[in-house]
Amino acid sequence: MYQLAQPGYTGRSTVPVLWDKQTKSIVNNESAEIIVILNSEFNEFATNPTLNLYPAELKEKIDWWNQKIYTSVNNGVYRCGFAQTQAAYNQVCDELFATLDEIDAALNTSRYLCGNNVTLADVRLFTTLFRFDIVYYGLFKCNRHRIQDYPNLGAYLRDLYQLPSVAGTCDLESVKQDYYGNLFPLNPGGIVPSGPDMAFMLKPHNRETIGVH
């Protein structure tokens, strides 16, 4: 795709990518920007065009969470997995789990990160939480706690997963094949584990009344 957009391209190819089929060009390859674009720029084709995950009155709070989540969680798991020294690993691991503790505490009184409705902050966090127990816990050495063992984060993850159409975008086997099969430096043998059992994702989350007054 990168070479189709720019013949002879030899740089790094990353996903996700927002692709323009008509011009055969890459519109954007930064996930943080793509989710903002998808939130508002294609409403004429959307099933729920009035849905807004980035409302003006919450932008400041969403941006605050997004920055924290990106630095310490989305990128934090990679910094743990690819740390080159024990000191570097210890530092980023402390930061990762301190942030997860902070998020878990916030979710004690709020169903979602910014209130009673899903926002882009939840979208950004979900992508890492879904992969955490499957991949990051073992392969990336983020093994202090599993997400499902947190008082609030585990139920929050199930809450998001059980929203309409979300589970259909989550392919457990593809996640395992991508990480365990392709990250040679971390898994030289390419062995893909048989687990985990994800049946717990369908258990009741009981978060419907949190934050409701």
**Same structural domain, 109 and 180:** yes
Question: Domain residues for 8?
Answer: 2-38
Residue 213 lies in a domain: no
Can you give the pTM of this predicted structure?
0.92
Distance between CA 172 and CA 85 in Å, rounded? 30
Identify whether the C-beta of residue 26 lies closer than 8 Å to the C-beta of residue 16: no
Q: What DSSP element (H or E) covers 27? A: strand 25-28
- Total structural domains in the chain? 2
Does 210 fall in a domain? no
Q: Which residues contact 104 (CB under 8 A, 6 or more apart)?
A: 150, 151, 152, 153
Residue 90 lies in a domain: yes
- Is residue 27 domain-shared with residue 85, that is, in the same domain? no
- The residue behind tokens 């008509």 is 22
Helices and strands of the chain, counted as H and E runs: 8, 2
Residues 31 and 112 in one domain: no
Asked if residue 212 has pLDDT above 80, the reply is: no
pLDDT at 62 over 90: yes
15 pLDDT tier (thresholds 50, 70, 90): confident
**Could you tell me if residue 45 is inside a domain?**
no
pLDDT band at 12, cuts 50/70/90?
confident
pLDDT, mean over the chain:
95
Query: Is the same domain home to 121 and 162?
Result: yes
Can you read off the two tokens belonging to residue 142? 């983020």
pLDDT, residue 213, reads: 64
